[in-house]
Amino acid sequence: MSEPQDPPIRALIAPVTPLAQNCTIVWCARTKKAAIIDPGGEVPRLLQALQDNDLTLEKIWITHGHLDHAGGTAALKAATGVPIEGPHRDDAFWIDQMDADGARWGMPEARSFVPDRWLENGDVVTLGETEFEVYHCPGHTPGHVVFFHRQARFAQVGDVLFQGSIGRTDFPRGNHQDLIAAITGKLWPLGEDVRFVCGHGPMSSFGAERRSNPFVADQVLAR
């Protein structure tokens, strides 16, 4: 009989910005090397969370270029020097206008940045001794990506999918059909047991959303 395996990764959720965006700190359980996914703001609090959990920041990962998800990226990079990975290059126009968006929405600390690595569908990003798969899931924004850890059955999906909802598609270059195609064609095949952190609100699983989500449940799409 095999011994139970410790989880290869661990995660904590730190809501940031007035929009309560789910910034996620994930780390390799063996090395305690961490990535901060979507540092929308409140960078000092995120750095304190790393210290409180005895973690070493190795990467900054961005799902998409909206202010509440990426507004603190430049400040976090300046404070730590770690590389920025993501999103897909198609979100460059959102990142380029971040200074103006920050001033408009009362987040003057937000600054634009240039990722050290733009991500493509099928890429792999490493963290300590573990790795995450990258899926390009446009629709909410054209360059949105999702990070998936296959062994842990865990995903960070940004604003693609929520418990009981899906991402808005009325922003510039949003596309509803692209979003539905990304959810059903890229996320559902990963398995119903996959649990995910979304950009806002509580965690869920792909199986639960396939059963009950009013936008993308199997029975809804079959109509």
What are the sequence ranges of the domains in the chain? 9-221
Q: Write out pLDDT tens, residues 26-40.
A: 999 999 999 999 999
pLDDT at site 107: 85
Whole-number Å distance between alpha carbons of 138 and 222? 22
What does pLDDT average to over the chain? 95
Place of tokens 């850890």: 149
State yes or no: pLDDT of 7 exceeds 90: no
What percentage of the chain reaches a pLDDT higher than 70? Answer: 98
pLDDT of 2 reads 41
* pLDDT computed for residue 106 by the predictor: 84
For residue 25, pLDDT beyond 70: yes
Tell me which H or E stretch contains 35.
strand 33-37
Per-residue pLDDT tens for 122-136? Answer: 999 999 999 999 999
Indicate whether 4 pLDDT > 50.
no
Tokens of 30: 């063996």
What is the Cα–Cα distance from 88 to 175, expressed in whole angstroms? 16
Report whether CATH 3.60.15.10 matches the domain 9-221.
Answer: yes
Residues forming a β-bridge with 37: 24, 61
Instruction: Determine the number of helices (DSSP H) and then strands (DSSP E) in the chain.
Output: 8, 13
- Strand partners for 197: 156
Q: Quick one: average pLDDT of 37-54?
A: 96
Mean pLDDT of 38-59: 97
pLDDT at 3 over 50: no
On the question of a cis peptide bond just before residue 214, with omega within 30 degrees of 0, the verdict is no
Sign of the C-alpha dihedral computed for residues 112, 178, 214 and 132 taken in this order:
negative
Mean pLDDT, to the nearest integer, of 101-123? Answer: 93
Burial of 86 (0-12, 13-18, 19+ CB in 10 A): buried
For residues 78 and 88, give the distance between their C-alpha atoms in angstroms, rounded to a whole number: 22
Lowest mean pLDDT among 1-5, 10-14, 210-214: 1-5
This prediction has a pTM of 0.96
Rounded to whole angstroms, the Cα distance separating 176 from 187 reads 16
Residue 27: its pLDDT value, please? 98
> Can you tell me the mean pLDDT for 157-177?
97
